[in-house]
Amino acid sequence: MRRSPQRAARCLAAVAALALALAPALAPIPAEARPGGGFSSGSRGSRTYSAPPMTRTAPGGSTGTFDRTETPRGTYGNPGAATPGYGQAAPTYRPAPAGGGLGGGFMSGLMGGLLGAGIAGMLFGHGGFGGMSGGAGFLGFLLQIGLLALIAMFVVRFLRRRALGGASGGMMGGARPAMAGGVAGGNGYARAMDNGNGAQRGPAGGRAPVGTPIEVGAADFDQFGRSLLEINAAWSRGDRAALTRLTTPEMARYFTGDLDDLAARGWRNETRDVQLESGDLAEAWRENGTDYATAAMRFSLVDVTRDASGRVVEGDPQARQVVTELWTFARRNNGPWLLSAIQQAR
C-alpha cells in the first residue's frame, strides 16, 4: 500500500517535534567542573547568610547567598550550638539539574499543551491541531510546526543560559601573567596574600558580626595556598580520601556528589598548573570553639573535562582561565585549616 504524501508529512513532523521536545534533556549541559563546580557551597558558621567584606582581590564581594549549604537559618545565637559542616549529614539544598525544568508553570503548561495537542493530532491523523484540508490547512499545519520549533529553541536557549549563569561567577577567559609572589608552592603563597588591609570592614546590613576577631598570620596564608593546590590535585585524581582529609564533612559531601555526577556522564575533570595570582583576607573570627577565616583568592589554571575515551568535552587544554573565589577555612583546637566554603566573586 502506498503511503499518501500528507500522511508521510505528518509522521515526519511528529518525529521532528518530538526530537525538539527532547533536545534539552538529551543535550550535554555545559558546566564549570572545577572543584565546587562554579557554585557557592558550604558554611561559614553564623556568617553563612552574611556576605564577606569586600577586598582588593574581590572588590565586588561575593555573588550572595549559597547555592548549597547545610546551615539552616537561626541555627546560631545560643552558646554551644553545633557547628554545621562538622557533624552528620543534614538536609542539603542542591540546585535542580539544569535540564530538568521548563522555566516554571507557565512554560511547562504551554509546552506540554502545544506538544500534546500537536503530536497527538499528527499521530492520530488530524493534521496537527485540527486537521488539514486543502492548501490553507496544510499552510496552517506548517505554521503550527514552526511554532513548536520556535518554542523548543527558546526552551533550549533558556536552559543553557540557566546552566551557565548559575555557574559563571568569577570566571574570566584568557591567560593573565602571574602577579609577583604568585608562584606555586612554598612561602610564595603567603607572599601572594596580604592581611586584608584593603578590605572594607563592616558586615552586610549593618548588623554586628557574631564571634571574636582573630589574627591570621603568614603561616595560615601559606596553608590556604597549599590547600588550593592540594584540593585541585585531589579533585583531578578523583581522590575522595584526600578531599575528605582537606575539607569539612559538608564540603567533602559536595565534592563526592559532584564527582559522582561527572562519573555518571562518563566524564573526568582535570585542573592543572594552578597558580595563585593574588589574595587577601576578608575576615577571621572564632565562635563556639571553631576558628574561621575567609580569604579572597584570584588564581589561574587550566580546566579541562574529558570523556572516557579522553576526548575533550569542555575547556581548552591550551588556554588558562582566571577565577576569583572566596574560600572559607575552619579549624578546631589549633588543628589544620579545612575548607569550609567556596563562594563565587562578583
Domain boundary among 164, 189, 220: 164
Q: 263: domain CATH number?
A: 3.10.450.240
Domain contains 32: no
Domain boundary among 113, 143, 164: 164
For residues 101 and 146, which has the higher predicted lDDT (pLDDT)?
Answer: 146
Q: Are residues 138 and 246 in the same domain?
A: no
Domain contains 280: yes
Q: What does the alpha-carbon distance between residue 153 and residue 165 come to, in Å, rounded to a whole number?
A: 18
Domain contains 265: yes
Averaged over 178-185, what is the pLDDT?
36
Is the pLDDT confidence value at 205 over 80? Answer: no
Domain contains 220: yes
Q: Are residues 150 and 285 in the same domain?
A: no
pLDDT (0 to 100) of residue 151: 79
Number of domains in the chain: 2
Q: Are residues 129 and 247 in the same domain?
A: no
Domain boundary among 164, 183, 210: 164
Question: Do residues 176 and 45 touch, judged by C-beta distance below 8 A?
Answer: no
Q: What does the alpha-carbon distance between residue 292 and residue 331 come to, in Å, rounded to a whole number?
A: 7
Domain contains 174: yes
Q: Are residues 138 and 152 in the same domain?
A: yes
Q: For residue 224, which of 199, 258, 179, 194 has the smallest C-alpha distance?
A: 194
Q: Are residues 228 and 191 in the same domain?
A: yes
Q: Are residues 116 and 243 in the same domain?
A: no
Is the pLDDT confidence value at 304 over 90? Answer: yes
Q: Which domain holds residue 207?
A: 41-94+168-344
* Residue found by looking up cell 509546552 in the block: 111
pLDDT (0 to 100) of residue 319: 96
Domain contains 114: yes
pLDDT for 27-83, tens place per residue? 444 456 899 989 999 999 999 999 999 999 999 999 888 999 999 986 554 434 445
**Measured between alpha carbons, how far is residue 113 from residues 121, 148, 151 in Å?**
12, 11, 12
Reported pTM: 0.64
Q: Are residues 124 and 176 in the same domain?
A: no
Domain contains 36: no
Mean model confidence pLDDT for the chain: 73
Q: What does the alpha-carbon distance between residue 295 and residue 284 come to, in Å, rounded to a whole number?
A: 9
Q: Are residues 281 and 224 in the same domain?
A: yes
Q: What does the alpha-carbon distance between residue 322 and residue 174 come to, in Å, rounded to a whole number?
A: 7
Q: Are residues 186 and 148 in the same domain?
A: no
For residues 162 and 232, which has the higher predicted lDDT (pLDDT)?
Answer: 232
Domain contains 206: yes
Provide the 3-class DSSP secondary structure of residue 321.
strand
Q: Are residues 146 and 281 in the same domain?
A: no
pLDDT for 286-295, tens place per residue? 999 999 999 9
Q: For residue 304, which of 34, 36, 98 has the smallest C-alpha distance?
A: 34
Question: Do residues 253 and 92 touch, judged by C-beta distance below 8 A?
Answer: yes
* Residue found by looking up cell 503511503 in the block: 3
Question: Do residues 152 and 94 touch, judged by C-beta distance below 8 A?
Answer: no
Q: Are residues 121 and 231 in the same domain?
A: no
pLDDT (0 to 100) of residue 137: 61
Q: Are residues 223 and 253 in the same domain?
A: yes
What does the DSSP assignment read for 80-141? T---TTTSS------PPPTTS--SSHHHHHHHHHHHHHHHHHHHTTS-TTT---HHHHHHHH
- Cell numbers describing residue 254: 559536595
